[in-house]
Structures are given as C-alpha cells and as structure tokens.
Amino acid sequence: MADISASPEGLPGAKSSLYAQSDRTRRRNAAETRFKYYGMGAVAIGVIALVCLLTSILSNGLSSFQQTFLRVEIFLDPAVVDPQGNRDPEEMAKVFTFGYQPLIKGSLEAQAQELAAGPAPEITPQLLAGMVSSAAPADLRDFVLANPDRVGETVEFNFLANARIDQYLKGRVTRESAALDSRVDVAQLNAADELVAIGQMQKRFNWDFIFGPDASENRPEAAGIGVALIGSAYMMLIVLVIAVPIGVGASIYLEEFAKKNWLTDIIEVNISNLAAVPSIVFGILGLAVFINFMHLPISSPLVGGLVLTLMTLPTIIIATRAALKSIPPSIRDAALGVGASKMQAVFHHVLPLAMPGILTGTIIGLAQALGETAPLLLIGMVAFVREYPDSILDPAVGLPVQVYNFTNRADPAFVERASGAIIVLLVFLVIMNLVAIILRRRFERRW
Amino acid sequence: MDDMRIVERQLDQQELKIKADNVQVYYGTSHAIKDVSVEIEDKTVTAFIGPSGCGKSTFLRCLNRMNDTIDICRVEGQILLDGENIYDKKVDPVQLRAKVGMVFQKPNPFPKSIYDNVAYGPRIHGLAKNKAELDEIVEKSLRRGAIWDEVKDRLDAPGTGLSGGQQQRLCIARAVATEPEVLLMDEPCSALDPIATAQVEELIDELRSNYSVVIVTHSMQQAARVSQKTAFFHLGNLVEFGETGQIFTNPVDSRTESYITGRIG
C-alpha cells in the first residue's frame, strides 16, 4: 500500500491508467535497459580482446607454416658420398655432413653459371651459395643414407632458403634492415627476387615446422616443434593415465562413501586451495620430490607429466564432485530401494549419469595442463632438445615451453615460429574442447 | 474396495510381520521419533497418517534402513522382521532391502529402458538364470504393477518417457520384481492426478494378497480407502494405532479425533 500512495499520480483513491507508465515503472525499465547495455559492453570488450589476440597471432604465425625453398639439381657423386663404392649404408655413414658441402657448392656454382647465362644475369655463385640454408648438407646426407640406390644420379632437391631470404619474401626483412645486417646483403635480396620470378625459389607448406626438431640461431629456417609435440603428447598421456583414475576415484569416495566429519572437511578445503596454488609451486615440488629425491631423469616427460598430474588433480576432483552432486538423490534412493549396494548404486546409476560432467572437467583439466609452462621450466624441460624422445625418460620439451624458447631468441624467423607454435597449441586446445562438447552431447541423458 | 463401509470391512487376523519396539530416531540432536512401538501384519495394508513433519516418513524409512544413508541419523530400539532384529550388527542392509522393497514419493525410474528398470533388481540379486527367466520376471512384475498392457509393445522405450502415473506403477513393478516380503510406500500418490491415484490405489489393494504393504499418506481418505490398519503419528509420537475403521469412526485419543476431523494438522 505504501508503494501506491508514494507514486505521484497514485493519489489515494485515484485510478491510474495502464496505458501511462508510472515514474517507478519508467525508472525500473531504464535501469534494466542500462544493465543490458553494460552486459553488451562487457561482451563486446571480451570479443574485441579475443579478435585482437587471434589476429595478432594469426598474422604473425600463419607464415611459419610456409617456408621458402630453393630448387637445386645435384649430381650425387659416388666418389664423394660412397668412397668405398659398395653402397653399404654403414660405410656411407662414415662420410660426415661436412663432406657433403663441396658437393652442394659445386652444384650451386654450376647452377649459378647456368642461370647467369640465361634467365637471371645477376646471379653469381657466391650469392647463390649464401642463400642456401646451412642445414642443406645434413638434409642431403639424410637423403643419400635413406636412398643409397640413387647414388650416381642427378637428383632435384629443394633446399631450405636462408632465414633472412625467407623473411625478406615474407616481408619481415627489408632492404633497409638488410643494409645493416651482416648475414644478408641487398644483392642477395635482388637475386632472390629474380629467382622467385623464374620459379627457382618458391614458398611451400613446411611440414618440418610441425614435425621437425628445433634448430639453433645459425639456421632458424630449419627449426620445428616436433620434439615439443612429442613431449607434450607424452605428458598428456601420463596425466590422463594417472590423474583421471586417481581424481575420479578420490571424488567418488569423498562424495559417495566418506563420512562427513572434520577430516573430510579439511581435505575438501585443501583440495579447493590446491586448485588455486600457483603452478610454479608444483614445479618446485616436482623438482624436490621427483628429481632430487626420487632421482627421476631431469627434463623428461615423465617428471613433467607427474608435475602436471599434481596440478590437474584438484581441477578433476572438483569437477567430478560437482558432477556427482548434481545427480538427484532420488536415483540413489531408487537403486538402494531395490537392494543395490552403495557401490552398485554409484557405478550402475550415478556414475553413468555424471559422466558428461566428469568428462568435461577432465578435458578442461587436461587442456589446462597442456598449456602450463611454469612448472616445466623448473624441472629442466626448458632445454634445447634436437633429439626426438624415444621414451618418457628421454629429455624433451613441451609446446608452451617451446614457445617460450622461441621468443627468447633474437632472429626474426623465431618471431613467426613462436606464433606458429601458439597456433598449433590453440588448435590442440580447440580440438580437446570440441571432444569435450561432443562427448557431453553423446552421454547426456535426461531424467 | 467398498470405500464407504469401512466399519464393516472384513478383518482377518494375519500373522505378525514387523514388530517395532520402543524405536527412537535422532537427527543430530533433534529427537524425531519418540518411543514408537507398532506391529505390522502380513498381507495387510497399514497406513501411517499424520501432519507434515510428524515422523511418519522417517519411521517408514527405518523399516528398510534407508535412513542409514543419512550420516547424522541415529536409530535406537529394535525392529523385528520375522523375529530378526534388522538393526542387528550382523544384518546387511542390502539384503534387508531386497526383502523390504520401497516406492518413493516422486516417481524415480532409472533413465534406462522400461525393461532394464524392472530387470535391474533381479539382475543384481541373481534371480534369473537366463534371458528367458528374466523376461518372465519382467512380464510378471509389470503385470503386478498393472502396467503391462500399456508398455508391453515398447519395453525398450525409456522409463522416464512415461506419464507420472505410469512411472509410479513402473516403480512399483520394479519394487515387486525382487520378490520382497514387505512393500513400503512413501506417499506414492502425492505427485499423481486423481485417475492415476485411483489406479495405484487399486493396485495396492491387489498387492495385499501377496505382500505386507505399509503406506505413508497425507490423504486421510486414501488411508481409509486402502488400509486395514492405521497408525496416527503426531510430533514424533505414535498417538494411536488400530483398525482403520475404528480409527476413523471411533478414535480413542482426542488428538486423533482432532486430526481426522480437520481441527489440527
């Protein structure tokens, strides 16, 4: 009654029309409209931030999936690659990478003369030699050792172009910066333009970026994230195998079986607190326990996986408990009422219904672990690793650490590689989230 | 069911099935059930009536130890089923619940097929040796639940897709599938419309020929319609227990009279 008498046109006894909005209604509607705009503004800021992030990463990183290659014809001289003449791979392996250099140099000279006489008059042997990556001899040797029967033939090769040339064609190196750069000169850039024009040099999709090992600053054009991919895959496997059973088991026990007393209260509070502990603390813990105390190999995906397991467990437990809590008690009553034991009630009825929630929580936990960097730095997974890990005990790096490694290096080629690695990481995260959504749809049931 | 002539209803003396002696139930510090002693007969429908919060559901859940799932709940005194104390240390509640089935207030079929709903109990208790026997049990239970004709063509359909009354009858079929000796019903009709209620009441009357049925209900008319014995609970006490006709027409206690005439509750 107080409301009515307080409204201006609502004099006691006076009738108000439904067609005219009262002051109070108008104020309420205005507040609601304002609130809607705040919400839209908040969403817009979020979307803009996301778009900026994606544009920056994609514009920097997409070019890393393409690399400039120089086409060269090389005569695989048996006298050089197979001095014993018996095509025995073991004997041929005795010729080191260094031995292949003259072979490439000779071919490049011949090629340069041919080009200078014909379509590209400005090419000189020195220019051409400076444009080929120093990874070329190793690539050539790998090819010869893999195909000993082709020795003696003339084979067409696509060698990686020097990173500066590659970056010039991608626009990150300019003539101005080249003038100040000791690793490249303007004449090489001109020659590169000519080679591109006649199709001798071209950009191609670079599988070696995704699956190849890392490379040093002397030949950034050859650097890839293959070792990091394997390392991350191993670690995810370890997290999946260890964290999921432990996490789900602990949640089922705490939620369904444990008596509610001060002990379980303390455990519950501590699990929630663990979820909020900075990940680097888990790194220190891993360093102290797994490496210094248990003497597990440093830099290995095993230790990395164990540390990430510790970090992921609270997330999985919290998500699983929430999923179990959301199952209506009537389902448990129904199962117990027909004489099911507590375990049967949980495993036959509650768990299947909680599955979508558990899966979502688990995959979110895994995705979080996949993107984690800080703890890996502390257990030595930040090293420069060129060898593919054969097992979970061999040194490796993780994808996010590889990004960190790339950003630590000065060469402009690593700028695009850092963003490229981020793109690969994001692709994996999106795939994992899609899997979570699909599984949730699949298992979701109504009751 | 001759609703109107409850006074003249046939009352055969039946064997004693459940005997409760001085049962006390505590929720933490609150004393929910005070000193309840009651004798429940076989092949009889016993109704528990009383106002909300009087403890009738709590007492019902003591009869198959469903209260065990509540951590803070404590039961004292003894409840004998065929002379055996169900709160004895040696008794496994799971075994007890196979003998004392329960139907809940809200229909709660499993989110599985109709067939699996009924077959679940027999499966976990190993009542059927093969598929054919299981099929037989399912059919028999659904017939006893008076729902066979409605669902026989769609046993693979989800149980949750049925109407409320059908779901409750499915739950009754599920409860009788494990061949219990006692059937507890906690306000089985409170979520149902009058037609479904009538069907379930009719079913309860039929179930009486095989089981001892204990039903908690808010509706005094329902208690009068389906039960032979009635217990009136008030504030955790068992106020009066006797033949339904006597309770409704000639109550001894003044509180019972006040309740059934609508002055309290």
Q: What is the pLDDT of residue B132?
A: 93
Burial zone of B201 (CB within 10 Å; 0-12 exposed, 13-18 middle, 19+ buried) = buried
Give the C-alpha distances (Å, rounded to integers) separating B29 from B33, B34, B74: 12, 13, 10
Contact criterion met (CB < 8 Å) for B124 and A339 = yes
B contact set with A (CB within 8 A): 64, 66, 69, 71, 94-95, 97-98, 101-104, 106, 108-111, 120-121, 124-125, 160, 171, 174-175, 177-178
In-domain check, residue A13: no
Phi, psi (degrees; rounded to nearest 5) at A374: -55, -50
CA of A345 vs chain B CAs: smallest distance (Å): 10
Largest CA distance in chain A: 117
The reply to whether A199 and A265 lie within a common domain is no
Of B211, B200, B220, B231, which Cα lies nearest the Cα of B44? Answer: B211
Which of A338, A344, A349 is closest, CB to CB, to B175? A338
Q: Do A193 and A253 fall within a single domain?
A: no
pLDDT above 70 (res A329): yes
What's the CA gap between A90 and B29, in Å, rounded? 85
Instruction: Print the domain residue range for A91.
Output: 67-204
Q: Provide mean pLDDT across the span A348-361.
A: 90
CA atoms lying within 13 Å on the CB side of residue A331: 24
Do the strands B73-81 and B84-85 form a parallel or antiparallel pair, or are they unpaired? antiparallel
Share of chain B above pLDDT 70, in %: 94
Q: Based on the domain organization, do A239 and A191 belong to the same domain?
A: no
Task: Kindly state whether residues A120 and A239 are assigned to the same domain.
Answer: no
Percent of the residues in chain B that have a pLDDT greater than 90, as a whole number = 43
The SS3 of residue A223 is coil
Position B12 confidence tier, pLDDT thresholds 50, 70, 90 = low
Integer Cα distance of B135 and B218 in angstroms: 36
Least Cα separation, residue A254 to chain B (angstroms): 13
| pLDDT above 70 (res A310) | yes
A23 within domain boundaries: no
Output B13 or A447, whichever has higher pLDDT. B13
Assess whether A112 and A186 both reside in one domain. Answer: yes
Q: In what order do the strands lie in the sheet with A201-205?
A: A154-160, A66-75, A201-205
CB B178 to CB A339 under 8 A?
A: yes
Q: B143: which residues sit within 8 A by CB, 6+ positions away?
A: none
Is B200 a residue whose pLDDT tops 60?
Answer: yes
Residue A51 maps to a domain: no
Chain A residues whose CB is inside 8 A of the B71 CB are 259-260
Using DSSP's 3-state secondary structure scheme, residue A151 falls into coil
- Report DSSP state, residue A162: P
Secondary structure (DSSP) of A322-357: HHHHTS-HHHHHHHHHTT--HHHIIIIIIHHHHHHH
Mean pLDDT of B19-39: 90
Nearest 10 degrees: CA dihedral of A325, A330, A332, A333? 140
Helices A186-197 + A163-170 axis angle, to 10? 70
- Based on the fold, state whether residues A91 and A165 are members of the same structural domain: yes
Pick the closest to residue B114 from B144, B152, B164 (CA basis). Answer: B152
pLDDT (tens digit per residue) in A402-431: 999 999 888 888 989 999 999 999 999 999
Against a cut of 0.90, is the pTM above it?
no
What residues in A contact B103, CB-CB < 8 Å? 337
Categorize the per-residue pLDDT at A141 as very low, low, confident or very high, splitting at 50, 70 and 90: confident
| A393 within a domain of the structure (yes/no) | yes
- Say if A2 is an interface residue toward chain B (CB within 8 Å): no
Q: CB–CB of B160 and A447 under 8 A?
A: yes
Does B124 sit within 8 Å of A344, measured CB to CB? yes
**Beta-carbon separation of A330 and B160 below 8 A:** no
pLDDT 10s digits, A22-39? 899 999 999 999 999 999
In whole angstroms, give the CA distance from residue B32 to residue B51: 14
**Amino acid A182: pLDDT:** 80
User: How far from A381 is each of A4, A280, A439, CA to CA, in Å?
Assistant: 71, 13, 32
Confidence band for B2, pLDDT divided at 50, 70 and 90:
very low
Which residues, in sequence order, are bridge partners of residue A156?
A73
Terminal-to-terminal C-alpha distance of chain B: 27
Which residues in chain B have Cβ-Cβ distances shorter than 8 Å to A330? Answer: 104, 106, 108
* The CATH number of domain B16-106+182-260, selected from 3.30.70.100, 3.40.640.10, 3.40.50.620, 3.40.50.300: 3.40.50.300
Size of interface A-B (CB pairs under 8 A): 69
How many independent structural domains does chain A possess? 2
Whether A42 is covered by a domain: the verdict is no
Poorest-confidence range of A133-142, A284-293, A333-342, B45-54?
A133-142
Helix axes A412-443, A163-170, angle to 10 degrees: 70
Q: Which residues of chain A are within 8 Å of residue B102 when distances are taken between CB atoms? A: 333, 337
Residues A230 and A177 in one domain: no
Is A163 part of a structural domain of the chain? Answer: yes
For residue B108, the chain A residues in CB contact (below 8 A) are: 328, 330-331, 333-334
Element (H, E) at A155: strand A154-160
From the list B109, B110, B121, the residue facing A339 with the nearest CB is B121
Q: Is A258 on the interface with B (CB under 8 A)?
A: no
pLDDT of residue A303: 94
Helix (H) or strand (E) holding A225: none
Contact between A447 and B106 using a beta-carbon 8 Å cutoff? no
| Residue A171 contacts B, CB cutoff 8 Å | no
The C-alpha atoms of residue A411 and residue A221 are separated, in whole angstroms, by 10
Q: Calculate how close chain A gets to B146, using CA atoms only, in Å.
A: 19
B106 closest CB neighbour out of A330, A337, A445: A330
How high does pLDDT run on average in chain B?
88
**Residue B23 forms beta bridges with which residues?**
B36
User: Are residues A245 and A200 part of one domain?
Assistant: no
Contact list in A for residue B101 (CB cut-off 8 A) is 337-339
Pairing of strands B45-49, B229-234: parallel
Q: Give residue for tokens 């210094």.
A: A292
> Residue A285 maps to which CATH number?
1.10.3720.10
- Mean pLDDT for B207-229 is 90
Instruction: List, as own/partner pairs, every contact residues A335-338 make where C-beta atoms lie below 8 angstroms and the sequence separation is at least 24, other chains included.
Output: A335/B110, A335/B120, A336/B66, A336/B69, A336/B97, A337/B64, A337/B66, A337/B97, A337/B101, A337/B102, A337/B103, A337/B104, A337/B175, A338/B97, A338/B98, A338/B101, A338/B120, A338/B121, A338/B124, A338/B174, A338/B175, A338/B177, A338/B178
Percent of chain A whose pLDDT exceeds 90: 43
CB atoms within 10 A of CB A65: 17
Chain B residue nearest residue A334, CA to CA: B108
Identify the closest residue of chain A to B173 by CA–CA distance. A338
Segment A119-124 mean pLDDT: 79
Contact A447 B98 (CB under 8 A): no
Which residue, among A141, A204, A117, A136, has the nearest Cα to A125 in the 3D structure? A117
Say whether A339 and B125 touch across the interface (CB within 8 A). Answer: yes
Give yes or no: residues A355 and A426 share one domain. yes
What the block records as the tokens of A76 is: 């695989």
Q: B interface mutation test: which of A260, A338, A341, A342 has the most B CBs within 10 A?
A: A338
Per-residue pLDDT for A8 more than 80? no
Amino acid letter for position A322:
A
Distance CA B239, CA A58 (A): 78
Does residue A255 sit in the same domain as residue A328? yes
Pairwise pLDDT comparison (B184 vs B196), residue with the higher score:
B184
**Does residue A109 lie in a domain region?**
yes
- B90-108, pLDDT tens digit by residue? 999 888 998 899 999 889 9
Residue found by looking up tokens 């600053």 in the block: A217
Contact at 8 Å (CB) between A399 and A429?
A: no
Q: Mark yes or no for CB contact B120/A341 under 8 Å.
A: no
Which three-class secondary structure state does DSSP give residue A107? helix
Per-residue pLDDT at A1: 45
* Contact between chains at B174 and A447 (C-beta distance less than 8 A): no
Pairing relationship of beta strands B45-49 and B212-216 according to DSSP bridges: parallel
Q: How far is B173 from chain A (nearest CA, A)?
A: 11
- A331 neighbourhood in chain B, CB within 8 Å: 108, 110-111
Nearest to A333 among B71, B101, B104 (CB): B104
Let me know: does A100 contact A137? Beta carbons within 8 Å: yes
A353/B111 Cβ within 8 A: yes
From A256's Cα to the closest Cα of chain B, the distance in A is 10
Classify residue A215: in a domain, yes or no: no
Q: Contact A337/B104, CB-based, under 8 Å? A: yes
CB distance B197 to B189 below 8 Å: yes
Query: Which of B66, B160, B171 lies at the smallest CB-CB distance from A336?
Result: B66
Among A260, A328, A338, select the one facing B120 at the smallest CB separation: A338
Q: Indicate yes or no: CB of B66 within 8 angstroms of CB of A353.
A: no
Query: Which whole number is the average pLDDT over B197-212?
Result: 88
- On whether both A200 and A231 belong to a single domain, the answer is no
Residue B114 has pLDDT above 70, yes or no: yes
Question: pLDDT tens digits for B144-161?
Answer: 888 898 999 999 999 988
pLDDT tens digits, residue range A238-281?
Answer: 999 999 999 999 999 999 898 888 999 999 999 999 999 999 99
Residues in chain B: 265
Do A162 and A238 have their domain in common?
no
By Cβ distance, the residue of B64, B66, B160 closest to A446 is B160
